[in-house]
Chains A and B, each alone.
Chain A
Amino acid sequence: MHKMWTAFRREYFSRVKTKGFIIGTILFPVFLGVLFVVPTLMMLVKSDKPKQIAVVDQTGEILDSLLVALNDKNEAGERLYALIAHDADDLEASKKTLSASVEEGGLDGYIIIPASIYENGAAEYHSKTVTNFQENNRIESALNRAVTDKRLQRSGLEPEKVRGLMREVHLDAIPVGSGTEEKNNAGMTFGIAYFLGFFIYMAMFIYGALVQRSVIEEKTSRVIESVISSIKPFHLMAAKIFGVGAVGLTQFLIWAVVIGLLSFYGSAFTPKAGGFSMPNVSFGILFFFVLFFVLGYFLYATLYAGVGAMVNSEQEAQQMMLPISMFIIAPILLIMYVIGNPNSQASVILSLIPFFAPILMLARIVVATPPAWQIILCIVLTAATIFGLIWVVGRIYRVGVLMYGKRPTLPELLKWIRYA
């Protein structure tokens, strides 16, 4: 135990003390923040400035309604869209002049409402960028409303009354029994399931590779023989996996504290940023997240350690990683289906496969509540697989770390496992 503790400490501190770890730990939340918050902020900032939009109204009556419908205002109370009527006797000629002034910057865009809009339901919006979906949607729905109102009036109906009759129903989808009942809507639950799954996915890749690199480093630097003359190879491997795992947990802890502080002190200003708020994750889900993180980590870290022991360099490891990577990537490809159909037979079977379980069973737990027996069976199966893998990889490791040169073939590998 004393020796394992020594090896564990070396593994842990030699990683935590590096610049790479410190930078990575700080950068990740920053990166995450940039990923989520900045686009929301950007949109708000961008749409603040009123836009000059010319309107060529060939019906002669839509523009007035459009002025009413498209009346979004910014924080200063100005209209976001200043609509300017543009008379066009010759449509093609007007298009040219308008396009020219859009390019010069005098105009932000122009809308062409053809006389046939009541029948065809088609209008045109010309602008420098046409990929601002939020803006396109706004203009489209305002135009829709203006045209529909006119159509209703023509048929002798009162638009206000009809709108009242046609009011939409909003469906709140709330999962039962997972403890998140009050707050989270379907979108949020989906987001949590996906985010947690993705987090485990990244963690398995990153920390698994760290374990592998550590094994390869000892092999290529030839320090390994001195080390395993003092500690059993199996204990060294275990210390390594625990050491790197502890590095991961340290990182999580730091992030958890940072996120906690942010959501506590930051809630004063974040909600205004486009309705971005912290999801409400229950304690139960947190527990399963940590559990499946640990299971997934041990499963893949062991595999990575085995590959590390078989190869001579990181380049060689890359080639052998493909099958393992597939096992990690597959659940991320399947997660959409599983979240959508958490209780289908396929989802149940997929989430019970140990190599997929850490991501898929967790996703199922978040979105629905699988029967307890499935969760228990899944954990037992995964744990059993981990123990089996540790046994096999421990043997490969013992022989492999002293082997240099040619990569072992499958029969050779089996021989290692038998003789070690």
Chain B
Amino acid sequence: MDTLRVENVGKSFGQLEAVKELSVAVQAGTVYGFLGPNGAGKTTTIRMIMEIILPDSGQILINGQRNTSTETLDRVGYLPEERGVYRKMKVRESLEFFAELKGMRRREHGPKIDAWMERFEMTAVRDKKLEELSKGNQQKIQFLTTVIHEPNLIILDEPFMGLDPLNADLVKEVILEQKARGTAIVFSTHLMESAEKLCDAICLINKGQKVLDGEVRSLKRNFGRNHVALNYNGPPDFLVELKNNGLVERYNDSGNYVEIHLRNGASPQKLLATAIQKVEVLRFEVVEPSLHEIFVATVKENLGRDTTDTLHFTLYTLHV
């Protein structure tokens, strides 16, 4: 049984169709990435899962049950994109409050809260007001409220936004640990790279519609091994030349790193030989395509040439 099933869900706000006929399934013990540019409908979908917004059509099942009952939603931990705390509340009080809102009783949450605070190095500030904490520590507290009641579905809307690298690692660690416990984790992001490293499966949405979904591994395998990662030092003009002589289908240059999509049947050896003549090659590797590459290729295929403008906009927002 899937931990989360979103079935043919649609939602409009007046003229705007925010989500169209969306279906998603997330299995227990997996990390599921919800990817797409800003405004694609990620947050709307997540809010519908949490029953904060009611869908116009379709239904949502959590652990096989409709999400309309509070008991069902008590098994979910949720970190919204819009984050905030009760500024005047004390740290421990606020954790107790949210644990109880999730249906925990006073006597059962105490030791759990203490253990988590210990681990997140918050024990010293337990009786401080939240407004006295740094932004990073406030974020840690909010993240804790999503795991204390031991949910079997955790939904994180842009969890790494605004986190420093140390705290981002801590959050990642907890995500993987929860995954090992059999919890399903859904997180949304517009950053392909963080998704690529963490996710077992993904769903790419754009303008409220699913563009692509599936296991990351099989998505990559199906896309073939005709990608080259190249670190170089020198002028980037050789890339234009490579494209002109028909070796390269497409490339994504970042100045000293470039991901190259070879034309079908083209030889990576030939590419390397050309590159060496023009620039200093620091690394050369035949790789699986990145999610970014897959996204670009898929959207292009689906939309055709005339919509390249939209695509560029989409790609742009994906990078910010």
Residues of A within 8 A of B (CB): 2-3, 6-7, 10, 14, 18, 218, 221-232, 402, 415
Contacts and interface: CB of A to CB of B under 8 A. Distances in A.
B102 A226 contact: no
B151 to A, nearest CB: 11
Contact of A221 (B51, B84, B103, B145): B84
B142 interface: yes
Interface of B: 14, 47, 50-53, 70, 73-74, 76, 78-80, 82-89, 97-98, 100-103, 142, 145
A225 B52 contact: yes
A225 B82 contact: yes
Contacts of B76: 229
Contacts of A218: 86
11 contacts: A2-B100, A3-B70, A6-B97, A10-B86, A10-B89, A223-B84, A225-B52, A226-B98, A229-B51, A229-B80, A230-B102
B318 to A, nearest CB: 24
A222 B103 CA distance: 22
A369 B147 CA distance: 60
Given A6-B97, A223-B86, A224-B84, A229 B103 contact: no
A72 B24 CA distance: 94
A230 B98 contact: yes
A230 B82 CA distance: 15
A14 B89 contact: yes
Contacts of A402: 47, 52-53
A231 B101 contact: yes
Given A225-B82, A226-B78, A229-B80, A14 B88 contact: yes
Contacts of A2: 100, 103
Contact of B52 (A6, A10, A228): A228
Of A18, A218, A222, most buried by chain B (CB within 10 Å of CB) is A222
A218 B192 CA distance: 32
A39 B50 CA distance: 61
Contacts of A222: 82-84
A10 B97 contact: yes
A412 B123 CA distance: 47
A232 B53 CA distance: 11
Contacts of B47: 225, 402
Contacts of B101: 3, 6-7, 227, 230-231
Contacts of A232: 70
Contacts of A230: 73-74, 78, 98, 101-102
